[in-house]
Structure 1
């Protein structure tokens, strides 16, 4: 008779922490500090879910590749000769060498730098010198990784059986994303920022704008103050109502143009949680720039009206995106260690936009370069405070931290479902 194996001390510790989480409150300190929890995150969150990692314009042509590092894992994403997107573990099947060390580049074949074993762009082993005559090449192709493109947004899943609800997200989001034609864009800029904090602090900071007015003067130029959450009272009722009227008028105008705008929110309801909504921008209402005018005179797709607000798209566990009439910004959060996180920001413009004529990189990136650096300081101070020994989880504001609560809900639900 087989008896169930006793749970490890590590598993019991994780389960106990998950069970103690109080809804509407933050997570306890070990979730941000513990190496055991970090290993659980890498196995059960980043190792089992759809993770946003890149945009198609980064690999526009056959042979183009990017590498993605998450913790100790490295993934190679390449555009094969048939123009399909393929993903592999960035590890040679001979002696385990990393195949591609650069962040991006162009390949003919994938050649291991150690012993020159070579793979074609479908991952098939095609050359291995000094091996026996009966050597079976077919057993040593690159290990594939599940990969999907959502209209130009590239997601990977490292698990054997990826969540099946990606297709539901794709169906819901296609009408929202398709008009912006990301696949017809080019990368105008990409900036990597390393934050000395746990990845969940980075994501929690993104999921609320409680801090925005006090710390993000460049970003809030284009944001309606009452549009990202506010405690209603007698003094702000008129302003809240005024924003609601602007929102309804804007949505009606955009919907009439074939641009879906209504909120969809499944952040803590699905395995592949996501949220989207098109929101009006303040002042000129055109783009997230310092003067709220377009950063690129060459609008995306066939747009003729620059004032299309900002379509926001959030995915669990690691991304957010802003789609505007003239450019698209994507953010990918990738854990490095328990206390170090990479935030990769990518700006895309129309593929025919000319730098120095239609746009300048400095103007295009000014708002989010400033905002990201401000956020870096905030999350690093949070990590220091959480590690101090005096931290205990505090309550979230129900008026302005609802998306933060949903991130924590999703994380606890997913880890609880997968930790065995």
Structure 2
């Protein structure tokens, strides 16, 4: 079957999507679809852009480039996080360069227009006595600080259902005290594939046992679905015992005041997210080579027996453990290029070489990301092949992918495609 997507409208491609199957090739590969994706999913929906601890002190600022926009996230003199467009109100020059910095005021290098950290224009030389500085403040960006995770929406009409994520996130992330963490390490990995393939790959673990030996030390493959008919009788018994253990452990955590059951807002919504407290395999403490804690100085309430609080959105995924946090942001760069930015957060007072070993902290997810990058590249090459036809998702291990594809089509339709 030949792929007719080069000659189809985006609407036709959306019509061609079949329930239970992957998307038509053009929805992964075409430039016009990529531009539509950027408009719909990265300008009109809430997106994760980084942790609050990226700007730990007043005057700290960092620049995030996403969806054609450059954003300044900073902490003002009163200790409040703010997000502005990185565009001078004079003639549009960039105010800050990429990366992190410390500032007392925001000064445009071009003509020295100067802004307070609250965004007000403080100084604009040679503009005349009738010039009104109050009309030329930096343009703010809609944002929400959800338990220490900063989400923004570039639209003036952001989806209201972010409220569900706020309510869940603030409660579930409270024990980890993200405000008192710091970034111990960051990696920027370019994956040679479409951003939806990156997200699909993260939303299933069908591939994990064959591709992620490091991660599978702490992950439990039964948690991610299985076909009971394919299991031997003894394996079915093992699965049943595991499910009973999970139910008991979830009930125990919740009785202690730590919400743990799965919460899913994945269909019939704008803001797509899922969260659940997962049991960590083996030693049960952290996602490290031996599943023991990497950091002796624990986060927040100081417990390393609360498993892995997992949270994902449509451009992010996170794992919260007692000793450290993994936070990942997906930034599309083109139809076939995606930036995966991952950060490892530890207690703000934790010292490398004293409180933790760097390799133990980072090696599992560095290896996992490299492995996933190769899989995404392999997938993109396949969907770009004329022989590709949308394949059937496993009803046992890829249900989340089916929901993601349906949500994607629904949101494109909601925005006129």
Coarse TM-score class (shorter-chain normalised) = over 0.9
Following TM superposition, by how much is the alpha carbon of 1:225 offset from its aligned partner in structure 2, in angstroms?
2.4
Among 369, 372, 393, the residue aligned to 1:372: 369
Matched, 1:314 2:312: yes
Q: How far apart, in 2, do the equivalents of 1:131 and 1:371 lie?
A: 54
Task: Work out the number of aligned pairs and report it.
Answer: 409
Q: Secondary structure at the match of 2:82?
A: strand
Following TM superposition, by how much is the alpha carbon of 1:293 offset from its aligned partner in structure 2, in angstroms?
0.1
Matched, 1:191 2:191: no
Among 381, 390, 406, the residue aligned to 2:378: 381
Written as runs of structure 1 = structure 2, the 5 A alignment for 1:348-363 is: 348-363=345-360
The residue that corresponds to 2:246 in the other structure is 247
Following TM superposition, by how much is the alpha carbon of 1:103 offset from its aligned partner in structure 2, in angstroms?
1.6
Written as runs of structure 1 = structure 2, the 5 A alignment for 1:13-412 is: 13-233=9-229, 234-235=231-232, 236-304=235-303, 306-315=304-313, 317-412=314-409
Q: How far apart, in 2, do the equivalents of 1:275 and 1:74 lie?
A: 28
Moved more, 390-399 or 231-240: 231-240
TM-score, scaled to structure 1: 0.94
The residue that corresponds to 2:3 in the other structure is none
Q: How far apart, in 2, do the equivalents of 1:415 and 1:168 lie?
A: 21
Q: Secondary structure at the match of 2:9?
A: helix
- Deviation readout 1:152-206 (Å, 9 max, x if unpaired): 0000000011111111221133322111211121111111111121111111111
Q: Are the counterparts in 1 of residues 42 and 67 from structure 2 also a CA contact under 8 Å?
A: no
Q: Secondary structure at the match of 2:23?
A: coil
Following TM superposition, by how much is the alpha carbon of 1:302 offset from its aligned partner in structure 2, in angstroms?
2.2
- Deviation readout 1:347-374 (Å, 9 max, x if unpaired): 1111222221111222111100000000
Q: How far apart, in 2, do the equivalents of 1:71 and 1:252 lie?
A: 41
Displacement over 6 Å in runs of 4+? none
RMSD: 1.7
TM-score, scaled to structure 2: 0.94
Q: How far apart, in 2, do the equivalents of 1:17 and 1:400 lie?
A: 25
Q: How far apart, in 2, do the equivalents of 1:57 and 1:72 lie?
A: 24
Q: Which runs of 5+ in 1 are unaligned?
A: 1-9
Q: How far apart, in 1, do the equivalents of 2:197 and 2:240 lie?
A: 33
Moved more, 162-171 or 318-327: 162-171
